[in-house]
Structure 1
Amino acid sequence: MDTLENTFRDLSITRRLQPSEPTYILDLSLPSSASSGSAAGSDVLALCCSNHSVHLHCRETLRLVGDFQGHTAPVRGVRFSHLSPHLLFTGSSDGTLRCWDVRRPNSGSTQVFRSDATHSYCSFDVCCNDHVLCAGTERVEEDSFLVFWDARMVQQGVETGSKQGGLLGVYSESHSDDITAVKFHPQKADRLASGATDGLVNIFDLSLGGEDDALVTTCNCNSSASSLCWTGKDLDQLLCLTHAEGLHLWDLAQPDSDDPFTLLSSTDARTLVQLPDGASLEYFVGGTWLSDEGRILLVGGTNHGELHLLDCNGSGLKLIKSLKRGHSATVRCFQWDVIGRSLLTGGEDGQLLQWKAGAEEISVRKKDTLKSISSMQLKSKAHRKHASVKDKTKPV
């Protein structure tokens, strides 16, 4: 705990990028430390905005170096390739996943992945060897789908579809509502977790074949899943956050067991932490596994922009550091930059902030709240509330 506290307790803003137009920052991504090194493209970060665009920024200075246009509906996330730092993947509710070359800012996508015309994607991820992409769809009539592509089978500039190369198939029986979170294992290319608004979190071993065989464990989070994160020393634990601010941490060391071991579970995890001065935690931004520290970092916040860094383990949550005077609205995303030893945050005020230990802010400009600008209000699909959650504690 001392090491973790020393890492974050002196964080302060070192750089602040003010928005040039009224848009939300929805997600951000950095090249993986394994692929970065001195390779071209490793000096940039990518973020997606509520105007359907993807922006590239200098990793150190935050200077805008270019953008990508092509999606025609909300972008649901950005992911750098695990092996090639110049490749960036994005997924959108317009029914496409796209691959971009960050060495060519302002250019078109190099690959476009599609499935059925009725599919609108809520989530997506790329496996650790970059071979397989998976996207989760919104519910289509009574079904929702996990769609899989082989990225190696798609020629540059060619859009894939059900009658073209790349599309491997779909899983359609494991979820009954919008699939809001998809997360491949960081080291096992065939291990996949998915979560949905049906309250189920499914664990698959894709090497086992069809959907029935591949589904090895189902956990119930009793709410709509919002994000998933593989954690633990051996990366055999799964952290799930819900749209109702619930938190669940499961031990999946034996994924084929009938009852995965629950390390921590709360339907409203905001009550697990006490903030100073009687303040209240209003939401969770997300969680990440810090391998160097051997800890889960959880980030929560308040609607006026204050952030709280939390240590999460089986015994509960503990406040590490509160970050103030940064954002002025809800924070949507964060990344810990292992190489730069900095925390990056983005949110609904349109600001991209870089936090470092003992830093002094560079080029501070007047901070304006964009919260009241009606033209920037992000239109997102309201998650359906269920009177009861489907009881499915193990695969059929």
Structure 2
Amino acid sequence: MDALEDTFRTLSITRRLQPSEATYILDLSLPSCASSESDSLAVCCSNYSVHLHSRETLRQVGEFQGHTAPLCGVRFSHLSPHLLFTGSADGTLRSWDVRQPGSNATQVLRSDSTHLYCSFDVSCNDRVLCAGTEQVEKEESFLVFWDARMVQDGGESGSKMGGLLGVFSESHCDDITAVKFHPQQADRLASGATDGLVNVFDLSLGGEDDALVTTCNCDSTTSSLCWTGKYFDQLLCLTHDEGLHLWDVARPESDDTLTILSSADARTLVQLPNQASLEYFVGGSWMSDEERILLVGGSNNGKLHLLDCSGSGLKFIKSLNGGHSATVRCFQWDAVAHCLLTGGEDGQLLQWKAGAEEISVGKKDSLKSISSMQLKTKAHRKQATKKDRSKLA
């Protein structure tokens, strides 16, 4: 990670987009490297809208509206830079054509009327969409699958369950807070929930019982999942109480422990300089060129900390100051432009580059009105329960 560390150590703000209204930025997405000709990036906001921005300048170039409840994420298609997916607690997944800002959704996917989604993802070949539901009834939650190729004309006018492939109903018993397809194997899927379990499925093996190949226990509620490792055969799990777990899931049938690194409070694994405060983790990302995990943490006043995560622990790289003024919710490393993008509860969208000087974009008004909204930083903090499984890490 030496070359990238040198870049990270000189990161500074190059562009700052300040909000015109009091909304949080909850998640952001870039087109994949294979579709890097697109100049768009997408963010989902706390007012249920999706904003399109210029990837280079950050200026807003469009907006999509249609969801009626909090969004649980935004994802670009892996194969098309013009196709965008969103999921929501309103019980729908929607797709949008970024070439037509302001238009209606091109596709609306639903399942049972009781299903409210709190996570979703798209397979690497764009053929399957999967969403995790909130707990429907006592000890009932569902992984719902659709064929993304079954497009409905007019979006809202199609069959309410068009494209529905089926559900998994027995692998989790509480809100499914994270769903993550493998970056290269379209049939491989990981899911995490507030029941303390993280499951790995091979969808090519058939039904739910056969498809479930590994179950790991994080003893808490899953915040995010990330496939890591040279061959993407490791799984990084972060929890809502700042736990961190790294598992080797390459050989699920092995009798050896799957655990590479595990900490109930990973903030204790690293000492920051100048008595800086590490209060939460934003997420992790696998940096393929350097074969390292980038972990981003922060403090509630907006300061960010970049960390290198390995099987031996965490290593401090760089603190980013002078950017956000509240909790940061999302980040993404843009490998094409060699910059870091971050968004958070102050409503700001920031672009960080090596040795950059800040270029103002948008308003420079006080953000106190936004920070005072104080939405819950993390929505899922239920007491984790445990299930007996034959294979717990």
- Tell me the TM-score normalised to structure 2 length: 0.95
Give the 3 Å change call, closer, same or farther, for CA 219–120 of structure 1 in structure 2: same
CA distance in 2, matches of 1:321, 1:24: 25
2:381 counterpart letter in structure 1: H
In the alignment, which residue of structure 1 is the partner of 2:23?
A: 23
1:225-246 deviation per Cα after TM superposition (whole angstroms, max 9, x unaligned):
0100000001100000000100
Matched, 1:284 2:281: yes
SS at structure 1 position matched to 2:62: strand
Post-superposition offset of 1:277: 1.2
| Aligned twin of 1:50 | 46
| Other-structure match for 1:323 | 320
Going from structure 1 to structure 2, the CA distance change for 1:381 and 1:284 (only over 3 Å counts) comes to closer
Give the deviation of 1:163 after TM superposition.
6.9
Aligned counterparts of 1:144 and 1:150: Cα–Cα separation in 2? 20
- 1:246–1:380 distance in 2 versus 1, CA, 3 Å: closer
CA, structure 1 residues 371+219, in 2 after alignment: closer, same or farther (shift >3 Å)?
farther
1:115 maps to which residue? Answer: 111
Instruction: Confirm or deny: 8 A CA contact 2:23 2:370 kept in the other structure.
Output: no
Question: Are residues 1:216 and 2:213 paired?
Answer: yes
Q: How many equivalent pairs are there? A: 390
Could you say which residue in structure 2 is the equivalent of 1:293?
290
Where in structure 2 are there 5+ consecutive unaligned residues? Answer: none
1:77 aligns with 2:88: no
Work out the CA distance in 1 between the residues paired with 2:381 and 2:349: 27
AA partner of residue 43 (structure 1): D
Contact kept in structure 2, 1:254 and 1:260, CA below 8 Å: no
Mark the CA change 1:393 to 1:360 in structure 2 (over 3 Å): closer, same or farther: farther
The amino acid across from 1:279 in the alignment is: A
Partner SS state of residue 312, structure 1: strand
Q: 1:381, CA displacement in angstroms?
A: 4.5
Asked if the contact 1:114–1:159 (Cα under 8 Å) also holds between the matched residues in 2, the reply is: no
Deviations 1:194-226 (A, max 9, x none): 000000000000000000000000000010001
| Counterpart-to-counterpart distance in 1, 2:118 and 2:232 | 25
CA distance, structure 1, for counterparts of residue 187 and residue 157 of structure 2: 22
Letter in 1 for 2:34: A
The superposition leaves residues 252-295 of structure 1 with CA deviations (integer Å, 9 ceiling, x where unpaired) of 11123355521110000000011111122000000000111111
SS in structure 2 of the partner of residue 363 of structure 1: strand
- Check the 8 A contact 2:226/2:284 in 1, yes or no: yes
Instruction: Give the distance between the partners of 1:261 and 1:367, measured in 2 at CA.
Output: 50
Partner SS state of residue 8, structure 1: helix
Distance in 2 (CA, whole Å) between partners of 1:366 and 1:177 is: 42
- Matched to 2:41, the amino acid is L
Q: How far does the alpha carbon of each residue in 1:146-185 deviate from its partner, in whole angstroms, 9 at most, with x for none?
A: 0000011233324599874300000000001000000000
Q: Aligned residue for 1:377? A: 375
Of 178, 181, 184, which aligns to 1:181?
178
Partners of 2:105 and 2:155 within 8 A in 1? no
Corresponding residue of 1:250: 247
Quote the RMSD (CA, aligned, Å): 1.9
Tell me how far apart the structure 2 counterparts of residues 48 and 163 of structure 1 sit (CA, whole Å): 24
Aligned letter for 2:32? S
Q: Which residue of 1 aligns with 2:12?
A: 12
> Partners of 1:208 and 1:160 in 2: how far apart?
34
Alignment of 1:138-149 (within 5 A): 138-142=134-138, 143-149=140-146
CA contact (8 A) 1:236 1:251 kept: yes
Q: Tell me how far 1:382 sits from its aligned partner.
A: 4.6
Would you say the 8 A contact 1:114–1:161 is kept in 2?
no
Kindly indicate whether residue 235 of structure 2 is the aligned counterpart of residue 238 of structure 1: yes
Cα distance 1:48–1:58, how it changes in 2: closer, same or farther (>3 A)? Answer: same
Structure 2 CA distance for aligned equivalents of residues 63 and 21 of structure 1: 15
Deviation of 1:384 (Å): 1.8
Separation of aligned partners in 2, 1:152 and 1:260 = 39
Contact 2:346 2:371 in 1 (8 A): no
Instruction: Check whether the contact 1:86–1:103 (CA below 8 A) recurs between aligned residues.
Output: yes
- Give 2:2's aligned residue: 2
Q: Evaluate the alpha carbon distance shift between residue 207 and residue 21 of structure 1 in structure 2; reply closer, same or farther with a 3 A threshold.
A: same
Query: How far 1:5 moved relative to its partner?
Result: 1.4
Give, in angstroms, the shift of residue 389 of structure 1: 2.7
When residues 202 and 259 of structure 1 are mapped into structure 2, their CA distance, relative to the original with a 3 A threshold, is: farther
5+ residue gaps in structure 1? none
Matching residue's letter, 2:271? Q
| 1:27-56 deviation digits (Å, cap 9, x = unpaired) | 0000000122x3xxx101000000000000
Supply the distance in 1 between the matched residues of 2:378 and 2:277 (Cα, whole angstroms): 26
TM-score by length of 1: 0.94
